[in-house]
Structure 1
Amino acid sequence: MKRILTAIVLIFLLPMLLLGQESQKRILFFGDSITAGYGVGEENAFPAFIQQKIDSLGWNFKAVNGGSSGETSAGGLSRIDWMLRQPVSVFVLELGGNDGLRGIDLNTTKKNLQNIIDRVEAKYPDARIIITGMQVPPNLGPDYTTKFKEIYPDLAKENNAELIPYFLDELGGNSELMQSDGIHPTEAGHRLLAEKTWKVLKPILKSKRAENHTN
């Protein structure tokens, strides 16, 4: 008898459980070694700390780490379609830093980043876009450095996207926040990046939840 009752309960509960899984919204963090958590592991990268914040609120969003160490804008463009096989509700773009370090043509970098955004919007028109601003060291000259920095606010404005101004500005020169290479954040640095990202992301998630409740 108990087995029959258990089976009946499962029959009624299973569709609801599956519905809950299907309705979970994905936040795709698409980036390079910063997003991937180089040196600290994906579990200590800022998307993982974002997931902790989401879980603490009981919100139905999943933070997906789409970071790849060494990724350039061209590399990101080559794999974005594969990453978009599953629905995306919010897309966080953290790419271009490696382009700058390699002195890649600025127009090429901006074009690649724009093409990535275009593919996200074409497949998921309702997805919200967040762009993290990047800067490069001054060794490539002031003209390149200035124009590189301008790529990100320009992209945000042209695509009606949210911008997190220069993502790593509070980390530089602090050994507690940056690893010895001076490029990649420590775990504490990633926690700071999560706080910066959360300030922009949280209102978007609230809006997405409100949309779900009215549909």
Structure 2
Amino acid sequence: MQRNDNHSGRYAASSRPVQCAIGLLLWVVVAIPSLHAAQLQSTPAREAPDATVLVMGDSLSAGYGMPAAQGWVALLDERLEKQDPGWEVVNASISGETTAGGRARIVGALARHRPRVVVVALGANDGLRGLPTAQAAANLAYMIGAAHGAGAKVLLVGMQMPPNLGAAYADAFAGNYSTLASRFDVALLPFLLEPIALDRAAFQADNLHPVAAAQPRLLDHVWTALEPLL
């Protein structure tokens, strides 16, 4: 079963009055067991996972502009549930995330989920903001090292920048991924959007985020690099 990891401090809930908190707690204690029992009777339980794929990405992996169930990460979970139900997918992607944000969250995510495979799909927002490529490379290197330190395999998913940012920057940005993959000996998917990059109909009105209909193509693309790690 796909799970969304929403432990970022930026999304922490604001405080509530004590009375509301007590009322909510009482509702949880009383209602949740009954709801859970009813759910168990109506839907078959999925086996407890033997291994986890942790996806650390941005809006391209979070399913921006569509129900989360339509994104490529959710579709990955559906595919694994059919082919190998021993695997679980945890989507720790956050819209707007940068490599610095991923670096700040990776250790906690690894401790919570103990994944066997980590998909690192970050960098697009660094590039769109024109952040230094060396800084992004250092952040990605930290994430890869942390995943390896936790005993997980890594799939590094790259991105490319539009030419209006300058050829030198675009080349350095894309080169980060191949350099890191070689240095750390990790699997590499050079460009997440490669199958749809030239298809305007595959993108939402912002021309940045893929539409729901394009998500299966993204999954098939990611699958070519991910499957050997499973």
Map of 2:123 onto structure 1: 96
Q: State the AA in 1 paired with 2:166.
A: G
- Which secondary structure state, in structure 2, belongs to the residue aligned with residue 67 of structure 1? coil
Give yes or no for the alignment of 1:105 onto 2:132.
yes
The superposition leaves residues 32-55 of structure 1 with CA deviations (integer Å, 9 ceiling, x where unpaired) of: 001110001321111111111111
Residues 56 and 91, structure 2, Cα contact 8 Å, conserved in 1? yes
The superposition leaves residues 130-149 of structure 1 with CA deviations (integer Å, 9 ceiling, x where unpaired) of: 01111111122110111101
- Which secondary structure state, in structure 1, belongs to the residue aligned with residue 206 of structure 2? coil
Map of 2:147 onto structure 1: 120
Offset of residue 28 of structure 1: 0.5
Map of 1:55 onto structure 2: 81
Offset of residue 58 of structure 1: 3.5
Q: Spell out the pairing of 1:6-155 with structure 2 (5 A cutoff).
A: 21=48, 24-84=50-110, 85-122=112-149, 124-125=150-151, 127-155=152-180
CA distance in 1: counterparts of 2:70 and 2:83, whole angstroms: 20
| RMSD, aligned α-carbons | 1.3
Residues 195 and 221, structure 2, Cα contact 8 Å, conserved in 1? no
Residues 131 and 164, structure 1, Cα contact 8 Å, conserved in 2? yes
Offset of residue 175 of structure 1: 3.6
Q: State the AA in 2 paired with 1:24.
A: D
Offset of residue 63 of structure 1: 1.0
Give yes or no for the alignment of 1:183 onto 2:211.
no
Residues 176 and 188, structure 1, Cα contact 8 Å, conserved in 2? no
Report how many residues are paired. 183
CA distance in 1: counterparts of 2:84 and 2:141, whole angstroms: 33
Query: 5+ residue gaps in structure 2?
Result: 1-46
The superposition leaves residues 66-101 of structure 1 with CA deviations (integer Å, 9 ceiling, x where unpaired) of: 110000111111111221122110010100010000
CA distance in 2: counterparts of 1:37 and 1:104, whole angstroms: 24
Give yes or no for the alignment of 1:157 onto 2:153.
no
Q: TM-score, with normalisation over the residues of structure 2?
A: 0.76
CA distance in 1: counterparts of 2:156 and 2:142, whole angstroms: 14
CA distance in 1: counterparts of 2:168 and 2:205, whole angstroms: 28
Q: State the AA in 2 paired with 1:188.
A: A
CA distance in 2: counterparts of 1:176 and 1:48, whole angstroms: 22
Map of 2:19 onto structure 1: none
